[in-house]
Structure 1
Amino acid sequence: MTQTKPSIPDPCRLISRLMTGRRSVTLTAVLAAMLAACGQPEQNTGSTEETPQDMTQQTVQDVPADHAGDAAQDPYLWLEEVEGEEALAWVEARNTVSKARLEGHPAFQAHYDKALAVYNAEDKIPYGELLGGAVHNFWQDSNNVRGLWRRTGLDSYRDTAPDWQTILDLDALADAEGENWVYKGRDCLAPDFNRCLVRLSRGGGDAVVVREFDIEERSFVENGFVSPESKQWLAWVDSDTLMIATDFGDGTMNESGYPRQVRLWKRGMPLSDARLILDSDPALVFNFPMSSHRRDGTYAGVIQGPDFFTQILHLWVDDDLKTLPLPREIDFKGFFADWMLIQMRKDWSLPGGKKAASGSLVAVRVADALAGTPADSLTSLFEPDDRQSIDDVQIGQDRVYLSVLDNVTGRLISAAPQDSAWVVTDIAMPENGTLSLVSVDEWRDAALIGFESFLQADTLYLAGNTAPTAIKALPARFDAGALMVEQRAATSRDGTRIPYFVIRPENFRKDGSAPTMLYGYGGFEIALTPSYLTGFSQLWVENGGTYVVANIRGGGEFGPRWHQAALKANRQRAYDDFIAVAEDLVAAGYTSPARLGIRGGSNGGLLVGATFTQRPDLFGAVICAVPLLDMRRYDKLLAGASWVGEYGDPDNPDEWAFIREYSPYQNVAADADYPEIFFFTSTKDDRVHPGHARKMAAKMTDQGHEIIYYENTEGGHAAAANLKQRAFTDALQMIYASQSLMKKE
């Protein structure tokens, strides 16, 4: 399926997949990454594959009448003015103090150099996307800071030194045009994949400029498709027609700052004249044009999101959009011949006694879906048990690949139609790690599959009509010989068993003395799986630290039910789970509160914010990155309205009642004894407003608490626009964590 997908960066593992181009992810995962609040990238950057126009000039937004009292009592509201003179002066003052302490530390440079050397290493695996037998890769290193988009043939790709052909040099483009371009990916039209829609961001935000590019000519198309800067999505209908959802002017963006209209745009036509084919209520979260161009069929349409985890499918049929009468609690995966593949978010009962279980992957013939008779062909491809979930689905030329989590470790299967049934086969791959569908070619029988674990560097396999063969391997970036991994479980407040991984020295003594960093996310159905340590986590374990990854509810480790268990009124369960893991680590002698730190970004920043305000006695350090913190106003800031389905609506008194109980900004107290907190964010983050971190830091400072604050002035929601900036924040975190928990720096 040549399905148009946005590429977006972020610190949970999924966002890292998108940012680095290492993984090919499904539509809903991409939308989750685009719309969700995730954190700072932690993964290997072997190859890299993203504000309406005035978003970074945003002023303080209007306060609803029922929030007027809160606003009047909030002396820090001025810090929400992103580029305000006073606000930026405050940021600069805090940055100066923080950098003097952290960057000025004697050990800072060594940590920075180590992280940057890994990011810039020439022997990284050049992960890429398979398109019609070619491999497209986006590469960054010390000489190509903004990066190179390049390609080679699949046979050449298997070689140690592939014959890469540069398609677009982003450093040269930025210099020539005087723009701070950050590459956000491209969508190329099958079957020759020569014409591509390239997404370019100014400074790393989610808003992009889209420009048509001709690969053979190595240039942007003269008088080709160009869409101005916006948060936007496009899909090829044919070589001269696009479906586009963008900012068409007043009243055409929704409450979350995403497009509410989809139009049909013909070549040579002014964008303003594009034909309106779908409009929506401004409360809807997204309207996502998609297309599929395969040998066995071509489809186009729109996926509409009434809220974050429901979808309405519309297909382009006879020059019009037809709405498919399907349940809304679905995750559309794509097309295979005359079948459409869907993952269920809730149980589905059909006429004739047929059922599709929540979390399962099913196939339905397109004609039956259009006719309203899906039961006539509905077939289940895979139904996970209670300790399993489907992590990813990718559609190839001859088969469908499924990456499955089995107790949070990977398993790979394939499915192919045979007559009216589907034959499902296990594919032999290494165990006790993470299996990732890096890229699957829809025009050749080929798939790239990655395997990694916390201590085992990535290996890339080529699969298809033969058994998977290892074709590339990442050299070890650190000595893992003295380290080991354990999987344990803690018991949460309601009795639920919460799994977690511990990466620690082998000669470990359970006397409570180990400096330990606990990482979590717990939101948007995103699973944290074993992945090779890099960045901060690598620096931490190399210097004797213990690193812990918690698989708390709200994530996707065990499918939709694990996520839904911590939605809205049940959000506290995610925080109870995280606290339970921390308490279990202390009770088992792994660490002690003075030696235990917590770390999270975006939704994970909210996690650590809620946790340290509830249990300040349990932690000695907190790293809170690009966070949500003021949950009274989160839905009024940037993309926040798109997350109401996750957290609840603070304008609804009944829902504010439970949000108020955990919102960090409302619960931080002057008389509490908190550990020193390290906040960091980005001025250019047009997803999670930097005002969250700014206001929390200012409030805590005025209350007399110790905090460290750093704000990168570019970099989007990843808080880093390039590898140097990412290494810089890694080193800042390492100095802070060492000073707080190792008591030696």
Structure 2
Amino acid sequence: MASRKYTYPACRRDEQVVETLFETPVADPYRHLEDPDAEETATFVAEQNKVTSAYLEQCAGRERLVEKMTAAYDYPKAGVPFRKGPAYYRHRNSGLQNQYVMYKADALDTPANDWSVFLDVNTLSDDGTAALRASAFSHDGSLFAYGISRGGSDWQTVAFKDAATGAELDDSLEWVKFSGYTFTHDNAGVFYSRYDAPASLTSAAVASSADNAAGTETDKLEFQKVYYHAMGTPQADDKLVYHDATVADQFYGVNLSDDGLTVILSISSGCDPVNKVYIAPLADVLAAPSAADIAWNKLVDNFEAGYDFVANDGPVFYFKTNLDAPRYRVVSLDTSVAIPEPATTPRDAFTELVPQSTTGDVLQFAMAVGADKLVVSWMRDVKEILEIFELASGTRIADVPLPGVGTVASVSGARQYETFTFKFVSFLYPGSSFEYSLSSGEARLIDSTEVPGFDLDAYTATQEFYYSKDGTRIPMFVIAPKDLVRDGSAPALLYGYGGFNISLTPYFSVFRLIFVSEFKGVLAIANIRGGGEYGEEWHKAGSLGNKRNCFDDFAAAATHLFDAGYTSAPRLAINGGSNGGLLVAACFNQFPHLFGAAVADVGVLDMLRFHKFSVGSAWCSDYGNAEATEREFRVLHAYSPLHNVRAPASGYVPALLLTTGDHDDRVVPLHSLKFIAQVQHTLGHLDAPLMIRVEVKAGHGAGKPTSKIIEEAADKYAFMALALDVEL
């Protein structure tokens, strides 16, 4: 065997760990790395980080990348302003603040310098790793609930503020995850969902979800519960509203009807866009001696379709649904009429208001605004448009003018206001916020984001289409310098996701533009199957037994870039995160000849055991479960990155970098740790660097501080530069 070019940390292989699934032996020699608290795991992580850091130091341009990224990111950023009660609020970042600051003003047109600080989470930690996650105002805007996560974990500790005075209230909620907050209209209390504290943390005497240890555990999340918290009382006295002790992996969401009189309970299982819908009078919910005594009116009691509550007029409720409409529609339901068989979808009870598009558009969201209007966002070939409808009749009234081709990043409005606000962004359009008047039908520009240091006119952003292996037409966005010569020599970065009904729409990122400018290269975003770009059929075409389509679509995207003269295999890097990390790792295994570098962020990489950890069981809706049926096992075993690492006959594999965080309690780090151990064991004798970067006090990505975002981006680009032979 040839001498190794890189020396990787030793990792114990336990060849005795073998399970038999459907008469097939499956080895798992690195299972010991599943224990995040083991000294052996900690040593492995520390040694891997040393190797990666030493390698990245070979990139002479890394520090310049950090300086360039820091300077480029140092511009004022702002979310869309929104109204709650008598005041307006807005999230802003002066440039390099680790977290956005929430500001407040009495009027929308208040000069920027005159808005007052309402909430600054930067004060909650020295390193910026305390982050604002879910939040909600009461109906009248007088109370504010906000969840704070620490170290990147999905766990939230919920605090409350008096919105008028800014005073912090004594109320506090622990062990909250994957929950919204819904106040009763009299501000007496709030509905929320939570879990029991994880057993591994309880046994370690971790008493709070704000503890630094929360988020490092791998315990399987089970049995979420809905509670009602009466303001001014301890959490221990909260009233249990709903809990199903027979189903472990359900999620719950609570809304109140527009009049505040009815509780709307949404029950989902997994990540598919399907749910049950139960309702009950608020007075009955609060008066019931126990959760078992609440008499729910089960409008829909099956998982055939999805229903998002939009609004109600008395007993008539409006929903966005994919029932018999894979690209979605809006329907109404008279809840005063009894539904005899809720376990069977009551199709005849629904009245269609906004039908499914006949031209292939996907209805993204519907929001009731003003007394009787509906603002609807459609996606047309991965580009968004806004329209106004009458709520009760579904009659289309008007288009909302947009600046160009891009994404409506946020919409904020309510039925008590005659205006709503929204933000528009695109690849070369940093963003503008608008206020739309329902009475005049005009959109007024509030402000636009300016990014110094970039001549955005020097780049082009185009949409192209290519064909996958089975002939399916796939869209892809390409961002490149206007003066690019298409001779196949330019470096390129191909990004993909392809899962969970999530669409990759145009958005602005200085980091992506830095790749284009500093690498003098091409950025491509492939809208492969599995996402939501063309509705539920597109999603299903890339999930479960069709998952192979995602990998073929991504490989075909690379081939299209070659054929179009943008780049060549040695100059192409691929990147994706979470489900996109699975995509990159699977393509690293299956199509090594197509890429020069592969960077897989926080990836799901052990497809036979993912459902055993944290919230992984929810992903069975997209992936399947290797222990459920032989067919599911065969499908998963065939592409699971961990179980398909083999040295190619050519002796070539692309450079590989995995990234993860020690507080990632969504896709736990064990996926990346086991995969890199297997890759280095099997392929470590080859010339390609095979590295992992494990960040401390970092999670799946949400809430990551600016300082860590910049450092991670610089490391990834330095790795790509070394792999693609680019001088920075």
Q: Same fold (TM over 0.5)?
A: yes
The AA in structure 1 aligned to 2:705 is: N
**Structure 2 match to 1:125:** 78
Which residue in the other structure is 2:638 paired with?
Answer: 661
Correspondences of 1:606-617 after superposition (within 5 Å): 606-617=582-593
CA distance in 1, matches of 2:18, 2:96: 49
The answer as to whether partners of 1:148 and 1:170 remain within 8 angstroms in 2 is yes
Q: Cα distance, 1:94 vs. partner?
A: 1.7
**Preserved CA contact (<8 Å) 1:454 1:485:** yes
Aligned match of 2:335: 367
Q: 2:28 aligns with which of 45, 51, 74?
A: 74
Q: Is the 8 A contact 2:574 2:597 kept in 1?
A: yes
Offset, 1:369: 6.8
2:137 maps to 1:188: yes
Contact (CA 8 Å) 1:520, 1:549: kept in 2 or not? yes
Q: 1:713 is matched with which residue: 696, 707, 717?
A: 696
Distance change >3 Å, CA 720–CA 301, structure 1 → 2: closer
What CA distance in whole angstroms lies between the structure 1 residues aligned with 2:507 and 2:164? 37
3-state SS in 2 of match to 1:127? coil
Query: What is the match of residue 230 of structure 2?
Result: 266
What is the identity, as a one-letter code, of the residue corresponding to 1:155?
L
Residue 722 of structure 2 corresponds to which residue in structure 1? 739
The higher radius of gyration belongs to 2
What is the CA–CA distance in structure 2 between the aligned matches of 1:605 and 1:663, rounded to whole Å? 12
Is the Cα–Cα contact under 8 Å of residues 306 and 312 in structure 1 kept in the other structure? no
1:722 and 1:659, CA in 2 relative to 1: closer, same or farther beyond 3 A?
same
Q: How does 1:33-182 map to 2 (within 5 A)?
A: 66=20, 73-102=27-56, 105-121=59-75, 123-132=76-85, 134-141=87-94, 144-157=97-110, 159=111, 161-174=112-125, 181-182=130-131
**Alpha-carbon offset, residue 742 of structure 1:** 4.6
1:313 aligns to what SS in structure 2? strand
Residues 1:429 and 2:402 aligned together: yes
The 3 A distance-change label for structure 1 pair 149 and 421 is closer
**Matched residue type, 2:267:** Q
Q: 1:66: Cα distance to partner?
A: 4.9
Q: Tell me the amino acid that sits aligned with residue 208 of structure 1.
A: Q
| C-alpha contact 1:520 1:551 (8 A) present in aligned 2 | yes
Q: Distance in 2 between matches of 1:515 and 1:499?
A: 21
Q: Given residue 138 of structure 2, which amino acid in structure 1 is its aligned partner? A: L
Bigger mean CA offset, 253-262 vs 323-332: 253-262
CA, structure 1 residues 85+720, in 2 after alignment: closer, same or farther (shift >3 Å)? Answer: farther
- Aligned counterparts, 1:374-413, within 5 A: 375=348, 378-385=351-358, 387-398=360-371, 399-413=373-387
The alignment partner of 2:36 has SS state of: coil
> How far is 1:245 from its partner?
2.1
Amino acid at match of 2:308: F
Within 2, Cα distance between the matches of 1:369 and 1:206?
Answer: 40
Q: CA deviation at 1:597?
A: 1.3
* Cα-Cα RMSD: 3.1
Counterpart residue number, 2:320: 343
* Cα-to-partner distance string for 1:346-370 (whole Å, 9 max, x where unaligned): 41xxxxxxxxx33232221342576
Amino acid of the structure 1 residue aligned with 2:240: L
Residues 254 and 260 of structure 1 are in contact (CA less than 8 Å); yes or no, is this contact kept in structure 2? Answer: no
Cα offset for 1:279?
Answer: 1.9
Once the two structures are TM-superposed, the CA of residue 562 in structure 1 deviates from its matched residue by 0.8
User: SS state of the match for residue 137, structure 1?
Assistant: strand
TM-score with structure 2 length normalisation?
0.84
Q: Deviations over 1:32-79 (max 9, x none)?
A: xxxxxxxxxxxxxxxxxxxxxxxxxxxx9xx99756999983222222
Match of 1:239 in 2: 187
- Shift in Å, 1:724: 0.6
One-letter amino acid of the counterpart of residue 220, structure 1 = E
Change (3 A) 1:272 1:435: closer
Q: Is the 8 A contact 2:257 2:312 kept in 1?
A: no
SS at match of 2:587: helix
Q: 2:669 aligns with which of 687, 690, 696?
A: 690
Distance 1:529 1:540 in 2: 18
Q: Is the 8 A contact 1:131 1:442 kept in 2?
A: no
Asked if structure 1 preserves the Cα contact closer than 8 Å seen for 2:223 and 2:248, the reply is no
Using the TM superposition, give the Cα deviation of residue 313 of structure 1 relative to its aligned residue in structure 2, in angstroms: 0.9
Contact 2:70 2:96 in 1 (8 A): no
CA distance in structure 2 between the aligned counterparts of 1:138 and 1:230, rounded to whole angstroms = 22
Q: Which residue of 2 aligns with 1:535?
A: 511
1:487 aligns with 2:435: no
Q: What corresponds to 1:16 in structure 2? A: none
Deviation at 1:401, TM superposition (A): 1.4
**C-alpha contact 1:447 1:463 (8 A) present in aligned 2:** yes
Contact 2:80–2:422 (CA<8 Å) still a contact in 1? no
Change (3 A) 1:274 1:435: closer
Stretch of structure 1 that moved more, 649-658 or 80-89: 80-89
The structure-2 alpha-carbon separation of the partners of 1:194 and 1:685, relative to structure 1 and needing over 3 Å to count, comes to same
Q: Looking at both structures, which has the greater relative contact order when contacts are Cα pairs under 8 Å and sequence separation is at least 6? A: 1
* Alignment-derived partner of residue 307 in structure 1: 270
What amino acid is aligned across from residue 510 of structure 1 in structure 2?
Answer: R
**Structure 1 residues 313 and 376: CA distance shift in structure 2, 3 A:** closer
Shift of 1:202: 2.0
Alpha-carbon deviations, 1:551-592, whole Å to 9, x = none?
111011111111111120011111111111111221232211
Q: Which residue type is aligned with residue 47 of structure 2?
A: A
Q: Which amino acid aligns with 2:643?
A: Q
Alpha carbons 1:670, 1:700 under 8 Å: kept: no
2:289 is matched with: none
Question: Corresponding residue for 2:445?
Answer: 470
In 2, are the aligned partners of 1:635 and 1:642 still within 8 Å (CA)? yes
Amino acid at match of 2:332: V
Q: Any conservation in 2 of the 1:152–1:162 contact (CA below 8 Å)?
A: no
Contact 2:278 / 2:300 at 8 angstroms: preserved in 1? Answer: no
Return the alpha-carbon distance in structure 2 between the equivalents of residues 579 and 343 of structure 1.
35
Q: Is the 8 A contact 2:501 2:532 kept in 1?
A: yes
Query: For the structure 1 residues 739 and 428, does the alpha-carbon distance in structure 2 shift closer, same or farther, using more than 3 Å as the test?
Result: same
Q: CA deviation at 1:146?
A: 4.1
Q: Distance in 1 between matches of 2:514 and 2:414?
A: 33
1:284–1:306 Cα contact (<8 Å) kept = no
SS at match of 1:435: strand
Match of residue 617 from structure 2: 641
Closer, same or farther: CA 514–285 of 1 in aligned 2, 3 Å = same
1:730 corresponds to which letter in structure 2? Answer: A
Aligned residues: 666
The 1:663/1:196 distance shift into structure 2, 3 A limit, reads same
Cα displacement string for residues 702-740 of structure 1 (whole angstroms, at most 9, x for unaligned residues): 221521211111122107730010011111111112222
Moved more, 527-536 or 138-147: 138-147
CA 482–166 in structure 1, closer or farther in 2 if over 3 Å, else same:
closer
Q: Is the 8 A contact 1:489 1:498 kept in 2?
A: yes
Q: What aligned pairs does 1:499-510 form with structure 2 within 5 A after superposition?
A: 499-510=475-486
How far apart, in 2, do the equivalents of 1:210 and 1:438 lie?
24
Percent identical pairs in the alignment equals: 26
CA displacement 1:636-656 (0-9 Å, x = unmatched): 122111100010011122201
| Secondary structure at 1:643 match in 2 | helix
Q: Please say if residues 409 and 423 of structure 2, whose CA atoms lie closer than 8 Å, have aligned partners that are also in contact.
A: yes
Q: Give the 3-state SS of the residue equivalent to 1:458 in structure 2.
A: strand
Separation (CA, whole Å) in 1 of partners of 2:503 and 2:643? 28
- Partners of 2:529 and 2:173 lie apart in 1 by 42
The residue number in structure 2 matching 1:45 is none
Give the Å deviation of 1:599: 0.7
- Cα distance 1:457–1:370, how it changes in 2: closer, same or farther (>3 A)? farther
Q: In the alignment, is residue 199 of structure 1 matched against residue 178 of structure 2?
A: no
Q: Which residue of 2 aligns with 1:415?
A: 389
CA contact (8 A) 1:208 1:230 kept: yes
Superimposed CA distance per residue, residues 669-728 of structure 1 (whole angstroms, 9 cap, x where no aligned partner): 134521110111100111001111111112111221521211111122107730010011
Which of 542, 547, 560 lines up with 2:536 in the alignment? 560
Choose 366-375 or 720-729, whichever is displaced more: 366-375
Structure-2 residue corresponding to 1:456: 429
Partners of 1:413 and 1:539 lie apart in 2 by: 35
1:680 counterpart = 2:659: yes
The 3-state SS of whatever aligns with 1:585 is helix
